[in-house]
Chains A and B, each alone.
Chain A
Amino acid sequence: MKYENLPWLILFLPLLSAAVITLFTLRSKTVSSLISIGAVVAGFVLTLLFITANGFHFSGETSTNWLSIGGLQVDFGLKLDALSMMMLLVVTGVGGLIHIYSYGYMHEDESMARFFACLSLFTFSMLGIVLANNFLMMFIFWELVGVSSYLLIGFWFEKPSAGDAAKKAFITNRLGDFGFLLGILMVWGLLGSLSFSTLQSALAANPALLGASATLAGLLIFCGAMGKSAQFPLHVWLPDAMEGPTPVSALIHAATMVAAGVYMLCRSLFLFNAESLHVISYIGGFTALLAALMAVQQNDIKRIIAYSTLSQLGYMVMTVGLHGPTPAMFHLTTHAFFKALLFLAAGSVIIGMHHEQDIWQMGNLRKKMPVTFLTFTIGTLALCGVPPFSGFYSKDAILAQALAQKSYLLFGVGVFVAALTAFYTFRLFFVVFCGQEKSKAAAHAHESPLVITLPLIALAVFSFAGGFIGITNNYGSQLAHEYELLSVWQQAIEPLSNKLAMFCGLGAVVIGFLLARSLYRSAASDPLPAKLGGLATAMKNKFYFDEFYEATFIRAHDWIAAAADWIDRWILEGAIIGAIRGGTDLSGRALRLVQTGNLQTYAFLFVLGVALLLYLVLGK
Chain B
Amino acid sequence: MHVGLQHYLAVSMILFCLGLLGVILRRNLLVMYMSLELMLNAANLALVSFSRFNNKLDGQVLVFFIITVAAAEVAVGLALIVALFRKRQSAHVEDLTSMKL
Contact = CB atoms under 8 A, between A and B. Distances in A.
A595 B93 contact: no
A598 B20 contact: no
A600 B95 CA distance: 12
A600 B98 contact: no
Given A607-B20, A607-B24, A600 B93 contact: yes
Interface in A597-613: 597-600, 603-604, 607
A595 B24 CA distance: 16
Contacts of B24: 600, 603-604, 607
A598 B99 CA distance: 8
A459 to B, nearest CB: 75
Contacts of A603: 23-24
Interface string B13-49: 0000000100111010000100000000000000000
Interface string A216-246: 0000000000000000000000000000000
Interface residues of A, number: 10
Contacts of A595: 99-101
A599 B100 contact: no
Nearest to A597: B100
Contact of A597 (B23, B25, B27, B99): B99
A596 B32 CA distance: 18
Contacts of A599: 32, 93, 96
Interface string B79-98: 00000000000000110111
* Band of interface residues on B: 10 to 19
A599 B96 CA distance: 8
Interface in B49-75: none
Contacts of B100: 595-598
A139 B96 CA distance: 66
Contact of B97 (A592, A598, A604, A607): A598
A377 to B, nearest CB: 83
Contacts of B101: 592, 595, 597
A39 B101 CA distance: 63
B97 A600 contact: no
Contacts of B98: 597
Nearest to A596: B100
A595 B20 CA distance: 21
A597 B101 CA distance: 7
Contacts of B97: 596-598
Output the residue of B32, B96, B101 with the most chain A CB within 10 A.
B101
A598 B23 contact: no
Contacts of B27: 600
Contacts of A607: 20, 24
A139 to B, nearest CB: 55
Interface string A244-257: 00000000000000
Contact of A598 (B25, B32, B94): B94
Which of B25, B93, B98 has most chain A Cβ within 10 Å? B93
A600 B94 CA distance: 9
Of A592, A596, A597, A604, most B-chain CB atoms within 10 Å? A597
Contacts of B94: 598
A596 B96 CA distance: 11
Contacts of A597: 96-101
A334 B87 CA distance: 87
Contacts of B96: 597, 599
Nearest to B23: A603
A613 to B, nearest CB: 15
Interface in A45-76: none
Contacts of A600: 23-25, 27, 93
A569 to B, nearest CB: 33
Contacts of B99: 595, 597
Contacts of A596: 97, 100
A600 B29 CA distance: 10
- Looking at A592, A596, A599, A604, the one whose CB has the most chain B CB atoms below 10 A away is A599
Nearest to A600: B24
B16 to A, nearest CB: 11
Residue from B24, B32, B96, B98 whose CB has the most chain A CB atoms within 10 Å = B24
A598 B95 CA distance: 9
Nearest to B96: A599
Nearest to A592: B101
A266 to B, nearest CB: 71
A368 to B, nearest CB: 80
A598 B29 CA distance: 12
A597 B23 CA distance: 16
A597 B100 CA distance: 4
A79 to B, nearest CB: 67
B33 to A, nearest CB: 11
16 contacts: A592-B101, A595-B99, A595-B101, A597-B97, A597-B98, A597-B100, A598-B97, A599-B93, A599-B96, A600-B24, A600-B25, A600-B27, A600-B93, A603-B24, A607-B20, A607-B24
Chain A to chain B: the 4 pairs with minimum beta-carbon distance, closest first = A597-B100, A597-B97, A597-B99, A599-B93
Given A592-B101, A604-B24, 10 more contacts: A595-B99, A596-B100, A597-B96, A597-B101, A598-B94, A598-B97, A598-B100, A599-B93, A603-B23, A603-B24
